[in-house]
Amino acid sequence: MNSKLPLVSLKNVSAGYNGDPVLTDVNLDIYPFDFVGVIGPNGGGKTTLSKILLGILKPFRGQVLFPSGRLNIGYLPQVSQIDRAFPITIREVVLSGNSSGQSWWKPVSGKLREKAERLIAQMGLDGLGDRPIGELSGGQLQRALLARAIINDPQLLVLDEPDTFVDRNFEGELYQLLERLNESMAIFLISHDIGTISSIVKTIACVNGTLHYHPSNVLTAEMLQVYNCPIDLITHGQIPHRVLKKH
Amino acid sequence: MENLLSLFEYRFFQNALLAAILTSLLAAMIGTYIVSRKIVFISGGITHASFGGIGMAYYFGINPFLGAVVFAISTALGIEWIATKGKVREDSAIAILWSLGMALGIIFVFLTPGYTPNLMSFLFGSILSVGTADLWILSGVLILTIVFFILFFRPIVYTAFDPEFSKTRGLPVALVRNIMAILIALAIVLSIRTMGIILVLSLFTIPQNTAFLFSGNFKPIIFGSAIFGVTGSLIGLLVASWLNIPGGAAIIFVLTLQFFLIKGIKLLASQKK
């Protein structure tokens, strides 16, 4: 196990909206270089959990601690939360990821611009920097949002279904990229695609009203039942054997 | 034509031209923000609620502009507060404040003894009676807005585009949005002087939508709105004087015509390709 301090630590956290709890008694520690795959049914509280980690939502009860000090978090929200009619270019979206710790009245530094261009190219959006986001496909927008999430070299990267729109061609690249990113940051990845997710994550969190932490990436159907985590096990293509082990 | 040219020698007409230019520039920035954030309806609420302030100010014998500013700012912040706390449906809250403001305005104007102010000029504006003091205040708020936009352009755009993400990046989202709410309220109240309560929103939406035809980026839309707003309102003002019709209405007519003409031309051009 990791002997370092956790980046973020949730202690008996309960949270929800307008007084209705979505999550109760959640305990979770995320350590540096963790790769947590988050699964669970719709409405089970996956997004709510991510918003607690991000500090966007305050819990009713319990504590959110940052034992390693101030945490630099990168965030990729669900694409459906983005107003695609908003007049902003890809380049500007990517640059907006680096909004802390710089003087607002100063122009964006050349170094940061170069980094943004590099990320845009890395995301397969070469030459699209000047395009308004309204002209992008869902997958392209998602990649732009991923670039925005990592431009600040976060210690923890929170991804809310980064693979909903990503086309099959880019999916493999996306997972390779995430594995590479995991060498320098912890990742908290919410996904519906259980098959793919298990092959790249290190641990699994099952979120359905509360959280069950599973300290390995091997998931069995029985386990999902015990955790009360009804998810769709039918995935596209072949499920690798090491993912769904028969007992 | 001779008559039209001689108009430029009159102080009142020079003031009207200046007011049209300054208001258009102010509306270019504030309007782009309003349209981008899709808060046109909220802005409508702010505009109409401010009439309550005007009526009260008349009743108590203070400057109606001051009353309007107080009402507009409290409405703007009130709606922003309701939107974030989310206990009331936002559109319903807007409608309530909208009509309450108008009702209060009419009640107090009615109760004011003796001289009753010209309701028409509040509802439809009176650009030809803009005074030097109005122009000074307008210039002051315009400069304030330009400075704020230059210094904090990125936070303004980022917090408007994705407030949740901006929060995770440590941006003071509520502060930026509240300052913008105050600037919106100020800009609207000042424009009521020239355009009137009922017509004022056009200046904050039509040129922006014309500019949207050319760009999908915030900054170019501001500049485009400034160009279309200034040209449209100047032409409108000239047409108004020429035909002897109300200035505000003529300006809106020209702005709308401008929008449809350009949209039509663009449509034809894209079909020819």
Which of A86, A100, A109 would you mutate first to test chain B, the one with the most B CBs within 10 A? A86
Amino acid at B114: G
Among all residues of chain B, which has the CA nearest to that of A90? B217
Residues 198-217 of B with CB under 8 A from A: 212, 215-217
Cβ-count burial of A244 within 10 angstroms (0-12 exposed, 13-18 middle, 19+ buried)? middle
> How far apart (Å, rounded) are the C-alpha atoms in residues B47 and B65?
12
The answer on pLDDT for B207 being more than 50 is yes
Supply the mean pLDDT for chain B: 90
SS3 of residue A161 by DSSP: coil
What does the pLDDT average to over B212-230?
A: 97
Residues of B in contact with A151 (CB under 8 A): none
Query: Which DSSP string do the residues of B245-269 spell out, in sequence order?
Result: --HHHHHHHHHHHHHHHHHHHHHHH
Residues of A in contact with B157 (CB under 8 A): 88, 92, 96
Paired with B100 in beta bridges are none
Nearest by CB: A56 against B32, B164, B221: B164
Report pLDDT for A180.
Answer: 92
Q: What percent of chain B has pLDDT over 90?
A: 64
Tokens of B35: 């349209």
Identify residues of A whose CB sits under 8 angstroms from chain B CBs.
Answer: 18, 51, 54-56, 73, 75, 77, 81-83, 85-89, 92-93, 95-101, 104-105, 108, 130-135, 148, 152
pLDDT of residue A30: 94
pLDDT tens, residue by residue, B164-192: 999 998 889 999 999 999 999 999 999 99
pLDDT of residue A228: 67
Positive or negative, the CA dihedral A44, A48, A53, A54 is positive
H or E, element range at A225? helix A221-226
| Cβ–Cβ under 8 Å, residues A47 and A127 | no
Q: Do B158 and A99 touch (CB under 8 A)?
A: yes
Instruction: Check B215 against A97: CB less than 8 A apart.
Output: no
Pick A1-72+156-247's CATH classification: 3.30.470.20, 3.40.50.300, 1.10.490.10, 3.20.20.100.
Answer: 3.40.50.300
CA of A233, closest CA in chain B: separation in Å?
Answer: 32
Q: Is B86 on the interface with A (CB under 8 A)?
A: yes
Tell me the average pLDDT across B253-271.
94
Q: How far apart are CA A51 and CA A65, in angstroms?
A: 14
User: Is residue B96 helix, strand or coil?
Assistant: helix
Domain ranges across chain A: 1-72+156-247, 87-153
- Nearest residue of chain B to residue A130 (CA atoms): B217
Query: Residue A161: which region, alpha, beta or left (left: phi > 0; alpha: psi -120 to 50)?
Result: left
Residue of A nearest to B160 (CA): A86
- List of chain A residues whose C-beta atoms are within 8 Å of the C-beta of residue B164: 51, 54, 56, 75, 77, 81
Domains of chain B by start residue, with CATH: 2-264 (1.10.3470.10)
pTM comes to 0.89
Portion 122-161 of B in contact with A at CB < 8 A: 150-155, 157-158, 160-161
User: Between chains, do A81 and B164 touch, taking CB under 8 Å as contact?
Assistant: yes
Query: Cβ–Cβ of B217/A54 closer than 8 Å?
Result: no
> Residue A9 has what DSSP assignment?
E
Using a CB-CB distance cutoff of 8 angstroms, which residues of chain A are in contact with residue B152? Answer: 104-105
Contact at CB, B166 and A100, closer than 8 angstroms: no
Confidence of residue B56 (pLDDT cuts 50, 70, 90): very high
Mean pLDDT of all residues in B2-31: 89
Return the minimum-mean-pLDDT range out of A42-56, B110-124, B126-140. Answer: B110-124
> Tens digit of pLDDT per residue, chain A (247 long)?
445 889 999 999 999 987 788 999 999 999 999 999 998 888 889 999 999 999 999 999 999 999 988 889 999 999 888 999 999 999 999 999 986 556 666 778 888 899 999 999 999 899 999 999 999 988 899 999 999 999 999 999 999 988 777 677 777 788 888 999 999 999 999 987 767 677 788 888 888 888 888 877 777 666 666 666 665 554 444 444 344 443 3
Cβ pair B51, B122 in contact under 8 A:
yes
Please answer yes or no on whether B169 and A88 come within 8 Å at the CB atom: no
What's residue B82's pLDDT?
74
Q: Cα–Cα distance between B67 and B52 in angstroms, integer?
A: 8
B125 confidence band (pLDDT: 50, 70, 90): confident
Q: Among A83, A88, A130, select the one facing B218 at the smallest CB separation.
A: A88
pLDDT band at residue B9 under the 50/70/90 scheme:
confident
Higher pLDDT residue, B217 or B9?
Answer: B217
Q: Which of A83, A92, A100 sits opposite B170 (nearest CB)?
A: A100
Q: CB–CB of A62/A23 below 8 Å? A: no
Which amino acid appears at position A244 of this protein?
L
Asked if B169 lies within 8 A of A152 by C-beta distance, the reply is: yes
Backbone conformation region of residue B244, classed left if phi is above 0, alpha if psi is from -120 to 50, else beta: left
A216 CA to chain B: closest CA distance, Å?
Answer: 29
Vertex A13: Cα angle to A204 and A153 (nearest 5): 60
Q: pLDDT tens digit string along A24-54?
A: 999 999 999 999 999 888 888 999 999 999 9
Return the pLDDT at A241: 38
Q: Cβ contacts of residue A144 below 8 Å, gap of 6+?
A: A90, A93, A94, A120, A123, A125, A133, A136
Amino acid B116: pLDDT: 64
How far A160 CA lies from chain B's nearest CA (Å)? Answer: 12
> Chain B: residue nearest A152 by CA?
B169
